[in-house]
Amino acid sequence: MKQAAVILVLLTVASLGVAQQPQQTPNQQKQPSGTSSQGTTQAQTAKRPPQAKTQPEFDAYQAAIKNQNDGAAMEKSADDFAAKFPESELRVLLYRTAMHTYQAGNNAEKMAEMAQKVLKIDPDDPEALVGAAEVIAERTRDTDLDKDQRLAEAQKDAERALQTVDTDVAIPAGTPQERIDAYKGFLRSSAYSILGTLAFNQKNYAEAENQFRKSIDAFPAQPDPVVVLRLAIALDNQGKYPEALKEANRAVELTQENTSAGTLARRERDRLVQLTGGSAPAPASKPPSGAAPSSNPPSN
């Protein structure tokens, strides 16, 4: 799991996924004065935040969300709320919160389970699509009997997230544009990272390189060190050693030495330094012995 990304998601959920209290005329909300034509278009096309239909429903949501620091308690609260208010729009927020809480606790199986509960309510929720696809991409093994089916599902979910990120993120009025841009950039970065991982595992290193670069470009303010490391390894496996060394050095700068990703980044850097500073590199179609592994390095 990407802990820095988890923190970002939890912060953005607080501002972009807020529930609204019941309104007497929810379909007749006035456009704020002074809104530009661009802002008006965004307000008309953006998905509105989930709303409670009654005060008891909103009060029950407020009580449930207090368990957001405990995955199991949050899940139970979401289930209890969904049973009491089976048509509530706020169910998505509660299950999404449970998904992030499990993600923060590195519980991938429960994270995926909560993502599926969100998708049963809203099949186009980009956060849940990314969450479900990430777990599949990272946890599917060559020995899994349903490997091809799982990987196809992960690719479909990641590609769908890229399509819905501009249409299915509920944005409360008054949210700063830079916060919205960062949030959507993070989701796009995550989706491209998943597509890169899928291509990498299939040894399609050129496509993996393409997707990893898109992932980094989508959220340049906070590059994921694991994505940078995987980009270096993808370049290595294509025989692009100087480019690979550049990315490996960057991965070293972004990681701590005593972490799994940091150890692998330094190992990859040292290998590429030896290659580029010693004998001429072997042809790209046949990397030399000791080349970067085709399996995914663990996240830090």
pLDDT of the chain, 300 residues: tens digit per residue: 454 454 444 444 444 556 667 765 444 443 433 344 444 444 445 688 899 999 999 999 999 999 999 999 999 999 999 999 999 999 999 999 999 999 999 999 999 999 999 999 999 999 999 999 999 999 988 888 999 999 999 999 999 999 999 999 888 888 899 999 999 999 999 999 999 999 999 999 999 999 999 999 999 999 999 999 999 999 999 999 999 999 999 999 999 988 999 999 999 999 999 998 733 334 444 444 444 544 444 454
Host domain of residue 102: 3-20+43-184+197-203
Tell me: do 62 and 173 sit in the same domain.
Answer: yes
Number of domains in the chain: 2
Give the pair of three-digit tokens for residue 72: 């199991």
Closest listed residue to residue 232, CA positions, set 260, 183, 266, 274: 266
Clarify whether residues 59 and 147 are in a common domain: yes
DSSP string, 266-293: HHHHHHHHHHHHSSPPPPTTSPPTTPPP
Of the candidates 185, 262, 171, 247, the one whose C-alpha atom is nearest the C-alpha of residue 221 is 185
Distance from C-alpha of 274 to C-alpha of 272, rounded to nearest angstrom: 5
pTM: 0.82
- The residue type of 60 is A
In this structure, the answer to whether residues 178 and 276 fall within a common structural domain is no
Q: Same structural domain for residues 118 and 180?
A: yes
